[in-house]
C-alpha cells in the first residue's frame, strides 16, 4: 500500500508492505521523499523534524470496496518529540502504530479499549496551532533548564562522593567486593574463557578492567569456542554514514548490547533473509543474494537471480560451505483464472561441475482448484526438516518441497484451514519435531502445535518443558534453556525499554525486565533483523575482536552506541 503525505512544500510517500491476506499485519515500512529537482523518490533514513500521520480507510463506491487514507503532518519539536516518526492505523484494528525510521522499528501503542460497538474508522484532524510562540519557546527553555539542573545535581553528587572518598569518609569504607584478589588467578581464569565471557569477566570490576587488556590488544591466545550459557542473539542491520552496523542484543547476559562495525559495502542496504549456524543469507536489491558470516567476515556470492522472479521466503539446508548445502527460494506466486503457480529457485553454492560456477535451477508447480484453497506462503521462511523444505501457508497448510527421489511439491491436505489467515505463524524444529507458533493480533493469542508425523496434522501443546523458542520471520530456533528462568518461554524480535520481550507459557503473559503485559502494546518490533546462533569456531581471536565493540553502562562504557576505546 502506498500513501502520499504533503507537508508544506514537501511530499512524502509511505509504503506499507502488508501480508497478502488482509491489512492487519505490516511486514515492512519504507518512507520516500520527492526530490523536486530531479523528480525522483529518495528513500529516507530519517524524518528529521517531520511527524507524519496516516489512517487507512475503506470506502464503498458503486458496490465496490475502495481503500483511501487520511493524512496529516506536523513538527516533532512542537509535539515535544526528539525526532520525526510515522503514526498510522490499519483497517479493522483499534491499535495505533509508531514507526521510527532511524531504528527501522515499529512500536504498538495502547489502543482505545472502550469504543462503542459498532465502531467507526478513525481519521486524523490537525487542530490549528494557537499557542503563542513565546510560550512554546518558554516551555522549551524550562525543559532545557530542568535538564541542566539535573546534570548539575548529578555533577555535584559525583563531586561530593569524590570528596568523601579522598577525605577518608564513610564512602571509603564501602569497598567493592572483590573475590579475586590475586592478579595471577584472574589472568589464569581469563585465559580459558570464551571471547564473550572474557568481555563479561573483564567488566566485572575495576580491578579486572585495568588488569585484563581489551581483546583487540591481546595476542592470539587459544580460546575455547563454547560457553556454558549461550542462546541466540537478536541481530539487526543499521546504517550510519553509508556504513553498515550490526546491532545485537544478548538476552541471556542481562540483555547486553553489542555493536559490530562492518566495512563490506555489499552489506549497505542489505536485507536479512535467513540465519543458520552463525551464517546469514541476505539480499541487496532485486537480484543480488549472498551468504555472510559476521564472525569470520566470510562472504559467499551467489549468482544474480533470473529476471522476472520476485524474492520470497528463502533458507538453506546446511552451512553454506558444505558441499551438500542447498539454498532454496520461494518465488512468483500469483492467482490467475483459478490457477495458482509457485516457483522454487535452487542452487548448491559449493558444488561445481567441470569448474563451472553453479547456477540457479528453477522448478515451477501448477495446481488446480478453488483459489481460496490454494497455497499462499507466509512471509516467514521455509524450514529444512527431515531432508525437505517445509513451507507454511497463512491458513496453517503445510507445503513440502522435496529434492530427494525426484523433485516434488506437495500440500498436506489434513492441515488445511486450522488457523485464521490474517496473522502470522512460525515454524521451528525442536528435538527433531516440527513446531508451529501461532500468534494473534497484537500478540493477544499465542498457541503452540506439534506436527504429528504419522497423521500429518497439528497437535496442540501446552508446554515446552525445559526448552525455549526464539522466533522471527527470518529464522526461528529452539534450545534447551541455558537458565531455568528461560524455560518454557518464547522470545520475540521485540524490545521493551531496550530489553528483549518474551512470552511465558507458565504465566500466559509477556515479560521483560520490570515489565509484564498481556499483549505487544508499548513494545518495539525490530525490522530487518533475525536471531543468530553465535558460532566462533572459525573466527580467529584478533579478527573477531577488531570489530566487536562493547556497549554497556559500566566503568565508563557508553550506553548510546558510541565505540569504546
Domain boundaries, the chain: 2-128
Nearest to 24 by CA among 322, 441, 344, 404: 441
Pairing state between β 10-18 and 26-35: antiparallel
Query: Which residue from 379, 261, 376, 256 is spatially nearest to 313, judged by alpha carbons?
Result: 379
Predicted confidence band at 418 (pLDDT cuts at 50, 70, 90)? low
Indicate the length of the chain as a whole number: 565
Residue 496 grid coordinates: 521493551
Q: Percentage of the chain with pLDDT > 70?
A: 70
Q: Residue 164 above 50 pLDDT?
A: no
pLDDT of residue 339: 52
- What pLDDT, on the 0 to 100 scale, is given for residue 558? 36
Cβ contact 242:252 at 8 Å: no
Report how far residue 404's alpha carbon sits from residue 406's, in angstroms, rounded to the nearest whole number: 5
Bridge-based pairing of strands 467-470 and 477-480 is antiparallel
pLDDT confidence of 19, banded at 50, 70, 90? low
> DSSP letter at 371?
G
Give the rounded distance of the alpha carbon of 236 from its chain centre: 6
Is 70 exceeded by the pLDDT of residue 482?
A: yes
- Identify the pLDDT of residue 126: 72
Strands of the sheet with 288-293, listed across from one edge: 271-276, 279-284, 288-293, 298-301
Distance CA 273, CA 393 (A): 18
CB count, 10 Å around CB of 264? 13
Q: What DSSP element (H or E) covers 367?
A: strand 361-367
Poorest-pLDDT segment among 46-50, 183-187, 385-389, 546-550: 546-550
pLDDT at 416: 52
Residue 146, pLDDT score: 42
Report, as an integer, the average pLDDT of 160-174. 47
The pLDDT value given to residue 559: 37
Residue with cell 513451507: 391
Residue range 142-165: mean pLDDT, rounded: 47
- Which of the pair, 204 or 352, is modelled with greater confidence? 204
353 pLDDT band, cuts 50/70/90, is low
Which residues, other chains included, contact 424 with Cβ-Cβ below 8 Å and sequence gap of 6+? Answer: 19, 25, 378, 379, 380, 394, 439, 473
The pLDDT value recorded for residue 429 is: 94
Phi, psi of 112 (to 5 degrees): -75, 120
Q: What percent of the chain has pLDDT over 90?
A: 25
Q: Which of 10-14, 181-185, 441-445 has the lowest mean pLDDT?
A: 181-185
Query: What number is the average pLDDT over the span 179-205?
Result: 71
| CA-to-CA dists, residue 206 to 115, 175, 211, 336, 550, angstroms | 55, 12, 8, 67, 16
Element (H, E) at 209: helix 206-211
Q: Given pLDDT bands bounded at 50, 70 and 90, which one contains residue 365?
A: confident
**Grid coordinates of 223:** 580460546
54, with CB counted inside 10 A (0-12, 13-18, 19+), is buried
Confidence of residue 367 (pLDDT cuts 50, 70, 90): low
The per-residue pLDDT of the chain, averaged, comes to 75
pLDDT tens sequence across 171-182: 444 444 444 456
User: Which three cell numbers mark 299?
Assistant: 562472504
C-alpha cell at 306: 533470473
Summarised one tens digit per residue, pLDDT across range 376-417 is 777 788 999 999 999 987 777 788 999 888 899 888 876 655
Most confidently modeled of 178-187, 421-430, 455-464?
455-464
Q: Residue 389's pLDDT is what?
A: 94
Alpha helices in 365-488 (DSSP H): none
Is a pLDDT exceeding 80 seen at residue 423? no
User: 354 falls in which pLDDT band (50, 70, 90)?
Assistant: low
Paired strand residues for 95 = none
Instruction: Flag whether pLDDT at 163 surpasses 80.
Output: no
Count Cβ atoms within 10 A of the Cβ of residue 329 and give its class: 0-12 exposed, 13-18 middle, 19 or more buried: buried
Higher pLDDT among residues 252 and 532, named by residue: 532
Collect contacts of 263-272 with beta carbons under 8 A, ≥24 apart: 264/292, 264/297, 264/299, 266/290, 266/292, 266/299, 267/237, 267/292, 268/239, 268/242, 268/243, 268/244, 269/239, 270/237, 270/244, 271/237, 271/528, 272/235, 272/236, 272/237, 272/474, 272/528, 272/529, 272/530
243-279 residue pLDDT tens: 788 888 888 877 778 777 777 788 888 999 999 999 9
pLDDT digits (tens, 9 = 90+) for 62-91: 445 556 678 888 888 887 887 889 998 887
Q: Give the predicted TM-score (pTM) of the model.
A: 0.72
d(CA 472, CA 274) in angstroms, rounded, equals: 10
Residue for grid cell 548448491: 348
Rounded mean pLDDT, 140-168: 47
For residue 275, which of 259, 288, 294, 262 has the smallest C-alpha distance? 294
| CA proximity to 47, closest of 9, 74, 78 | 74
Task: Look at residue 154 in the predicted model and tell me its pLDDT.
Answer: 46
Amino acid at each position: 500500500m502506498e500513501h502520499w503525505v504533503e507537508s508544506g512544500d514537501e511530499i512524502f510517500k509511505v509504503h506499507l508492505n502488508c501480508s497478502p491476506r488482509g491489512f492487519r499485519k505490516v511486514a515492512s515500512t519504507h518512507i520516500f521523499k520527492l526530490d523536486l529537482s530531479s523528480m525522483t523518490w529518495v528513500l529516507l533514513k530519517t524524518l528529521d523534524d517531520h511527524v507524519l500521520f496516516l489512517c487507512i480507510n475503506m470506502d464503498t463506491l458503486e458496490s465496490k470496496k475502495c481503500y483511501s487514507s487520511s493524512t496529516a503532518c506536523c513538527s516533532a519539536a512542537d509535539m515535544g518529540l526528539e525526532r520525526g516518526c510515522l503514526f498510522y492505523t490499519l483497517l479493522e484494528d483499534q491499535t495505533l502504530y509508531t514507526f521510527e525510521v532511524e531504528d527501522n522499528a515499529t512500536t504498538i501503542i495502547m489502543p482505545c479499549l472502550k469504543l462503542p460497538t459498532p465502531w467507526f474508522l478513525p481519521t486524523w484532524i490537525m487542530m490549528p496551532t494557537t499557542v503563542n510562540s513565546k510560550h512554546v519557546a518558554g516551555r522549551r527553555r524550562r525543559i532545557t533548564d530542568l535538564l541542566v539542573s539535573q546534570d548539575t545535581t548529578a555533577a555535584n553528587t559525583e563531586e561530593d562522593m569524590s570528596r568523601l572518598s579522598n577525605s577518608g569518609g564513610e564512602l571509603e569504607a564501602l569497598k567493592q567486593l572483590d573475590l579475586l584478589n590475586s592478579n595471577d588467578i584472574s589472568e589464569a581464569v581469563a585465559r580459558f574463557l570464551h571471547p564473550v565471557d572474557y568481555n563479561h569477566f573483564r567488566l566485572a570490576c575495576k580491578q579486572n578492567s585495568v588488569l585484563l587488556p581489551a581483546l583487540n590488544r591481546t595476542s592470539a591466545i587459544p580460546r575455547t569456542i563454547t560457553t556454558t550459557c549461550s542462546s541466540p542473539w537478536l541481530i539487526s542491520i543499521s546504517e550510519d554514514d553509508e556504513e553498515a552496523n550490526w546491532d545485537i542484543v544478548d538476552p541471556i547476559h542481562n540483555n547486553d548490547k553489542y555493536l559490530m562495525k562492518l566495512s563490506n559495502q555489499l552489506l549497505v542496504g542489505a536485507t536479512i533473509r535467513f540465519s543458520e549456524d552463525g551464517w546469514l543469507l541476505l539480499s541487496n536489491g532485486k537480484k543480488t543474494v549472498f551468504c555472510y558470516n559476521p564472525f569470520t567476515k566470510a562472504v559467499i556470492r551467489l549468482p544474480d537471480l533470473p529476471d522476472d522472479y520476485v524474492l520470497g521466503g528463502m533458507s538453506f539446508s546446511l552451512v553454506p560451505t558444505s558441499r551438500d548445502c542447498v539454498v532454496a527460494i520461494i518465488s512468483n506466486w500469483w492467482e490467475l483464472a483459478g490457477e495458482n503457480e509457485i516457483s522454487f529457485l535452487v542452487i548448491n553454492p559449493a558444488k561445481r561441475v567441470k569448474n563451472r560456477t553453479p547456477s540457479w535451477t528453477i522448478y515451477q508447480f501448477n495446481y488446480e482448484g478453488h483459489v481460496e484453497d490454494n497455497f499462499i506462503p507466509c512471509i516467514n521462511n521455509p524450514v529444512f526438516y527431515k531432508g525437505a523444505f517445509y513451507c507454511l501457508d497463512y491458513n496453517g497448510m503445510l507445503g513440502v518441497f522435496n529434492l530427494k527421489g525426484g523433485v516434488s511439491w506437495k500440500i498436506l491436505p489434513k492441515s488445511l484451514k486450522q488457523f485464521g489467515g490474517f496473522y502470522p505463524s512460525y515454524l521451528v524444529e525442536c528435538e527433531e519435531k516440527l513446531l508451529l507458533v501461532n500468534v494473534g493480533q497484537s500478540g493477544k493469542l499465542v498457541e503452540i502445535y506439534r506436527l504429528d508425523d504419522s497423521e500429518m496434522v497439528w497437535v496442540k501443546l501446552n508446554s515446552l518443558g525445559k526448552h525455549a523458542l526464539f522466533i522471527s520471520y527470518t529464522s526461528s530456533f529452539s534450545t534447551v534453556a541455558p537458565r531455568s528462568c528461560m524455560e518454557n518461554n518464547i522470545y520475540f524480535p521485540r524490545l521493551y525499554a531496550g530489553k528483549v520481550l518474551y512470552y511465558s507459557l507458565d504465566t500466559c503473559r509477556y515479560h521483560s525486565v520490570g515489565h509484564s503485559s498481556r499483549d505487544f502494546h508499548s513494545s518495539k518490533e525490530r525490522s530487518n533483523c533475525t536471531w543468530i546462533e553465535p558460532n566462533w569456531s572459525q573466527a580467529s581471536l584478533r579478527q573477531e575482536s577488531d570489530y566487536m565493540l562493547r556497549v554497556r553502562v559500566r566503568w565508563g562504557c557508553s550506553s548510546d552506541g558510541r565505540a569504546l576505546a
